Chains A and B, each alone.
Chain A
Amino acid sequence: MAIAKAERLMNLALCLLGTRRPLSKRELRESIEAYLEAGSDDSFNRMFERDKDDLRELGLVIETVENLDGEVGYLARRDSNRLPPITIDAEEAAALGLAAKVWQQARLAGAASGALQKLRAAGLPEDVDPYEAHSALEPRIPVHEASFEPLMLACRDRRPVVFDYRKATAARPEQRHVEPWALECWRGHWYLAGWDRDRGAERVFRLSRITGKVRARAGKFTVPVPDVVTVRETVAGWAGESADRSALIRLRSGAGYPLRAKAARIRAAGEGWDELEIPYGHGLDAWLVEFGPDVVVLEPAELRADVVDRLRAVAKG
């Protein structure tokens, strides 16, 4: 039976951490059973390179040094791999326990538990069980988009990417070449901010609109990454939350609670109607039409015309 990958990785990690001098590939191959069974040099070499990458993903700093015989050797120095001293009290430990549970994405959930386990090994207090809910709150970060993981890695490693993207109102996806800067989750949806090479400008992309695979491209970023990347402001603009004008509407008494909650001014207009002054931003026309006959737009004329157009489209539909 083939030796399990976890056993092989664990052996390699222990060998590299346990040695005081660099170990050559040959020495490692002779001391790890799975490598002895690897068969050809080629398959051993491929396996060894992959394993080293995997251990580096786990945070191990593996140095490559040439020894006296001119042979390449590897070691993971204790001092560069040790967690610096950290003292976390029981209350802080419980709070971190709550935070570690929020990810619903396999890679980050694994990484968060892994971090907690490393801290636990370093003496994180256990008297408060962090896996029990501390507050009544159970925050969860949803990740449903397949493009999330490759984009997260590309942002981390600063690698350009290419993907097909279908804009909200476009029939067909279009290929976009992007230097990815940051990912942000807002209202349960993930967005990517980055430099759009095709447009020559900063752009925000919604991950659910990425169709097909995200592929990493060779080469470096061509544009400096800004210190502060603002995703939320851009998305809020799409959602019509950056209203700079106001509108006057009639609303049937008792109806349209969310409109009332946003209103700057409400007054009774008689005959079962109220008059409201509400913020007027992008998308207000579509929202007002949802209320059907319970809303009448008074002004501005432009909004009134938009709402009437939409109603006509439904009426003849």
Chain B
Amino acid sequence: MATNAIDQTRRMLSLVTYLRERPGAHVSDVARAFGITEDELISDLDVLPLCGTSFRGGDLLDIDTDGDRIWWHNPDDVAAPLRLAADEATALLVAARAVSTLPGLRESDRQALLRATAKLEAAAGENAGASARLSVTFESEGGVFADVDRAISERRRLWLRYYSPARDELTEREVDPIRLFAVGHTYMEAWCYHSEARRTFRLDRVAEIKILDEPSSPPEIELRDLSEGLVQPAAEDPEVVVEVGPGGRWVAEYYPHDSADELPDGGLRITLRTPDPTSLRRLALRLGGDGHIVSPTDLADSARQAARVALAAYDEHDKNPGGSYDRQEQGR
């Protein structure tokens, strides 16, 4: 949690209200209720006795703690629950609306969220209005999501047919699901027995899914830190250099990269790392005249070769426009 002065002030105001109702509250309980560490709470409790309720000097909050329990010796009625600020209402309402649109959310959770949203809107009053200026849509595949969610709660193994765009192929895998998360798209983190490693699966690339009878027992692994971004290339991954013109600048938006240097024509020279450079052949083909792979050269060659083979099919077809692809055959 952020520990800036604004957040701390906001928290201390709520804390005062909370403590008034709970004489002798335990430090651990209060920290949990406020979603902060015990150290953060203790630092708040160090500040509170320096704060006063009246403009006449000397009238300070007599709040102290022995490190285990918290006592307020001169409770005051200044501590009524405070209304929600515009940003607070926005942050909570936008998030609640976004989560409630997740197609795979449990129905009971969705209903609870919708009820809570309506109550919050009423309580926030006019401060709820600004929340309409921010919205978030999560993408997720409803049916697949529900199966993964169920497999996680019932601790069961999953069978998948999964599409890998890098190789343009479907592979069958058995996985032990660990968690679901949504960052733009919805993903499952799982232990994959096909690759004997932790893998992240994008749910819209799951072509088929089945819940197996085998129990799930993923090895104990540390969860990925999602705050660093989803794709985290390793230092030892091979380097790929791509040069794009102005029309290919989007590459820098979609591919995490080490550097993107401006070129005189308004294009970019982008250096990125990937464990599997052949997966970038698709990118080279997609770029067309808007860019090309500089290195590795065998990757550039393979894209050129693929384009030549593809073109040959058009030449062949144009020489023989009837043939087996005659429009007449369509109705068959």
Digitize A136-150: 1 where CB-to-B-CB distance is under 8 Å, 0 elsewhere.
111111100000000
User: When chains A and B are docked, how far (Å) is the Cα of A96 from the Cα of B139?
Assistant: 20
Are A170 and B104 in contact (CB-based, < 8 A)? no
Q: Cβ of B157 < 8 Å from any Cβ of A?
A: no
* Given A87-B119, A111-B85, A137-B182, CB of A232 within 8 Å of CB of B137: yes
Are B123 and A83 in contact (CB-based, < 8 A)? yes
Are A184 and B14 in contact (CB-based, < 8 A)? no
Tell me the nearest residue of chain B to A83, going by C-beta: B81
User: When chains A and B are docked, how far (Å) is the Cα of A133 from the Cα of B179?
Assistant: 10
Are B136 and A185 in contact (CB-based, < 8 A)? yes
Are A261 and B185 in contact (CB-based, < 8 A)? no
Q: Name the residue among B47, B136, B287 with the largest chain A CB count within 10 angstroms.
A: B136
> Which residues of chain A have C-beta atoms less than 8 A from B276's C-beta?
none
Are A15 and B55 in contact (CB-based, < 8 A)? yes
Q: List 29 A-B contacts (CB under 8 A).
A: A6-B9, A11-B50, A13-B9, A15-B55, A31-B54, A81-B82, A89-B112, A91-B108, A92-B112, A99-B99, A107-B87, A115-B91, A115-B92, A117-B35, A121-B82, A126-B29, A135-B106, A138-B182, A152-B133, A156-B86, A171-B265, A184-B134, A256-B168, A257-B169, A287-B286, A292-B309, A310-B288, A316-B304, A317-B300
Digitize B296-310: 1 where CB-to-A-CB distance is under 8 Å, 0 elsewhere.
000010011011111
> Which residues of chain A have C-beta atoms less than 8 A from B127's C-beta?
59
> Which residues of chain A have C-beta atoms less than 8 A from B56's C-beta?
31
Q: Cβ of B319 < 8 Å from any Cβ of A?
A: no
Digitize A30-69: 1 where CB-to-B-CB distance is under 8 Å, 0 elsewhere.
1111000000000000000000001101111100000000
Are B182 and A292 in contact (CB-based, < 8 A)? no
> Which residues of chain B have C-beta atoms less than 8 A from A290's C-beta?
282-283, 285-286
Are A168 and B6 in contact (CB-based, < 8 A)? no
Q: Cβ of A7 < 8 Å from any Cβ of B?
A: yes
Are A141 and B95 in contact (CB-based, < 8 A)? yes
Task: Tell me how many residues of A have a C-beta within 8 Å of chain B.
Answer: 135
User: When chains A and B are docked, how far (Å) is the Cα of A313 from the Cα of B253?
Assistant: 23
Are B288 and A139 in contact (CB-based, < 8 A)? no
Instruction: Select the stretch in A197-205, A213-221, A267-275 that faces chain B.
Output: A267-275
User: When chains A and B are docked, how far (Å) is the Cα of A19 from the Cα of B102?
Assistant: 46
Q: A4, A133, A169: which contacts B5 (Cβ < 8 A)?
A: A4
Are A121 and B95 in contact (CB-based, < 8 A)? no
> Which residues of chain A have C-beta atoms less than 8 A from B57's C-beta?
30-31
Are B289 and A313 in contact (CB-based, < 8 A)? yes
Q: Cβ of B181 < 8 Å from any Cβ of A?
A: yes
Q: Which B residues are closer than 8 A to A by beta carbons?
A: 1-2, 4-15, 17-18, 21, 29, 32-35, 47-48, 50-57, 61, 76, 78, 80-92, 94-96, 98-99, 102, 104-106, 108-109, 112-113, 115-116, 119-120, 122-123, 125, 127, 130, 132-139, 148-149, 152-153, 163, 165, 168-170, 177, 179-185, 207, 226-227, 246-247, 249-250, 253, 265-267, 281-289, 292, 300, 303-304, 306-311, 313-314, 317, 324-325, 330, 332
Are A109 and B35 in contact (CB-based, < 8 A)? no
Q: Name the residue among A80, A92, A231, A316 with the largest chain B CB count within 10 angstroms.
A: A92
* Given A120-B14, A290-B286, A314-B303, CB of A82 within 8 Å of CB of B81: yes
Tell me the nearest residue of chain B to A55, going by C-beta: B9
Are A116 and B92 in contact (CB-based, < 8 A)? yes
User: When chains A and B are docked, how far (Å) is the Cα of A6 from the Cα of B8?
Assistant: 6
Are B182 and A111 in contact (CB-based, < 8 A)? no
User: When chains A and B are docked, how far (Å) is the Cα of A32 from the Cα of B177?
Assistant: 56
> Which residues of chain A have C-beta atoms less than 8 A from B55's C-beta?
15, 18-19, 23, 27-28, 30-31
Tell me the nearest residue of chain A to B136, going by C-beta: A185
Are B34 and A117 in contact (CB-based, < 8 A)? yes
Are B14 and A117 in contact (CB-based, < 8 A)? yes
4 further A-B contacts with Cβ under 8 Å, apart from A111-B87, A120-B33, A317-B292, are A18-B53, A99-B96, A114-B10, A189-B184
> Which residues of chain B have C-beta atoms less than 8 A from A269's C-beta?
324-325
* Given A118-B84, A137-B149, CB of A99 within 8 Å of CB of B92: yes
Are B17 and A122 in contact (CB-based, < 8 A)? yes
User: When chains A and B are docked, how far (Å) is the Cα of A296 from the Cα of B305?
Assistant: 16
Q: Cβ of A72 < 8 Å from any Cβ of B?
A: no
Q: Return B38 CB to nearest CB of chain A, in Å.
A: 14
Q: Cβ of A178 < 8 Å from any Cβ of B?
A: no
